[in-house]
Structure 1
């Protein structure tokens, strides 16, 4: 694979692009934010936080794309899928692979647009925060970073190993034959800490430090587990951590054990600010429908109640519409 691109160069894409470019590979960093693209062109991609990097990169806007790409790491927010797919399609050939690194269950939409045989997924096991045009903060400690990579149907193709090698210029990559199970595990990660912290306008660590917000988070996670089981999905262990078993509970002793597991696994991510909250802070709509909303929608399909995820979606929608502010006092709206 020679012609590489990242479509949607936000906080995560900037950091991934910096690592791939630093490895010596040519890659186009594509984004609609002209100010960000100009900063990347002029100054390079700057990474701060858990790692310090400044790497020259080739950045461009979608209208500046040329030719066919062999591999596109698709990182555009799902709220912009329709427009981004239209921009990308002229640059997708018969053998182009689209590897989505989005949140939620993005492979469904990508496969519908480009074909299941060309769709791969790489759930991201690290976090980042947007700082300013051209600059992103890595919030996960380097030794705790990872990707997991797979295909929609579970087949391990030669292309999987090529993409693995590319991503490994940044951090370790695990290959899985159960991508959908991995996605549900990642969905649980996002629905809990990202969803709840977005509704409360805070960092992940702030949710963990408050007893009530932590109880809300655990119920959100419990609903994810119940829904995935009803849908016949077995959450795949991520980085050796079995969400389905470690985070489930049925009484107070088991809930306390699950709480310990949450605290252990999310310890490296306490300073993370959810990308959904970053969007709200910028006055944009966020991906709540593609995260907690997926849990609610799938729950309705399989007759599994999801009242806590419903409340998270409701609060975030009200923040988007200006009816509420993104502040910790929204915790009063939850009943546990």
Structure 2
């Protein structure tokens, strides 16, 4: 299977390295020339529970160099989805399937506008990754599950074939007949940890050792569960404690959420697509979400300070 990871940062490289190791014709597409050059020159340096190793990968900054693929896995930041797809149409042929494994809600509609709804699949992954340096990642694959599915919930041979390929490569993957519920399940994980680590700048080990932060995380998740329940979403996770515990499984104490990693790189975050999505759905269905609204406000304040004083934030 010819596969391209659109947005091969920390998570994309983790998935891409696993698929490359399994023998798939896998391409890692990233805008950073330094990152791409390092991977092509030295291989991708992977740190995981097995130690440190180098994985031979194919990396590029140019979609035209890669050409049409069988599967395009979209992992760009939420706010870059439309722009990234507009620049990546050289990867899309008439039979290309486009699979979003992004955080938050709404990407599937943006992708459908770009390539047609019939070519779009949705999914969520609990695999973790941290970009340590150009061409170097910390990978968290063991014990972390990925869920994919058709937008209408039907169980088709094409989505099962992708799941089979991922499973054979070592990416534990299940086909979901309720991908919206699956997406909400992953949203709950991000609601529990993303904004709090961004605001506090704490790693997972630090976050999980602070009882006051746990209480805030549980309150945010409880709001999100209430919203999803009223909206009629079929959740797999129905208890905040279970969500909190699941969020940390298989990840080291040094792990940093993607939201914290974004801030450390001086980038805006996906807060509007995560806690912000809970707030918007809550408004739509008449469910109060004060904790999530507060987390969104705090993160937007940090982003504003970062924009106004970029050097100070970079040194924080």
1:110 alignment partner, SS class: helix
User: How far is 1:65 from its partner?
Assistant: 3.2
Give 1:62-211 correspondences, 5 Å limit: 62=62, 64-105=64-105, 106-139=107-140, 142=142, 144-168=143-167, 169-211=169-211
Question: Is residue 78–residue 270 contact of structure 2 (8 Å, CA) maintained in 1?
Answer: yes
CA distance in 1, matches of 2:275, 2:83: 23
CA distance in 1, matches of 2:275, 2:36: 31
Are 1:262 and 2:251 counterparts? no
CA distance in 1, matches of 2:249, 2:24: 33
2:171 alignment partner, SS class: coil
User: How far is 1:121 from its partner?
Assistant: 2.1
Residue in structure 2 matched with residue 61 of structure 1 by the alignment: 61
Give 1:248-327 correspondences, 5 Å limit: 258=241, 262-263=244-245, 266-269=248-251, 270-322=253-305
Structure 1 262/192 Cα, relative in aligned 2: closer, same or farther at 3 Å?
Answer: closer
Question: Is residue 3–residue 27 contact of structure 1 (8 Å, CA) maintained in 2?
Answer: yes
1:154 alignment partner, SS class: coil
Cα RMSD, aligned residues only: 2.0
CA distance in 2, matches of 1:204, 1:4: 31
Q: TM-score, normalised by structure 2?
A: 0.90
CA distance in 1, matches of 2:63, 2:249: 41
User: How far is 1:113 from its partner?
Assistant: 2.4
CA distance in 2, matches of 1:307, 1:75: 29
Q: Which runs of no fewer than 5 residues in structure 2 stay unpaired?
A: none
User: How far is 1:33 from its partner?
Assistant: 0.9
| Number of residue pairs aligned between Structure 1 and Structure 2 | 305
User: How far is 1:170 from its partner?
Assistant: 2.6
CA distance in 2, matches of 1:180, 1:231: 11
Q: TM-score, normalised by structure 1?
A: 0.85
CA distance in 1, matches of 2:40, 2:83: 24
CA distance in 2, matches of 1:75, 1:205: 25
CA distance in 1, matches of 2:224, 2:135: 35
Question: Is residue 192–residue 221 contact of structure 2 (8 Å, CA) maintained in 1?
Answer: yes
Question: Is residue 197–residue 259 contact of structure 2 (8 Å, CA) maintained in 1?
Answer: no
Q: Which runs of no fewer than 5 residues in structure 1 stay unpaired?
A: 238-242, 248-257, 327-336
User: How far is 1:276 from its partner?
Assistant: 1.1
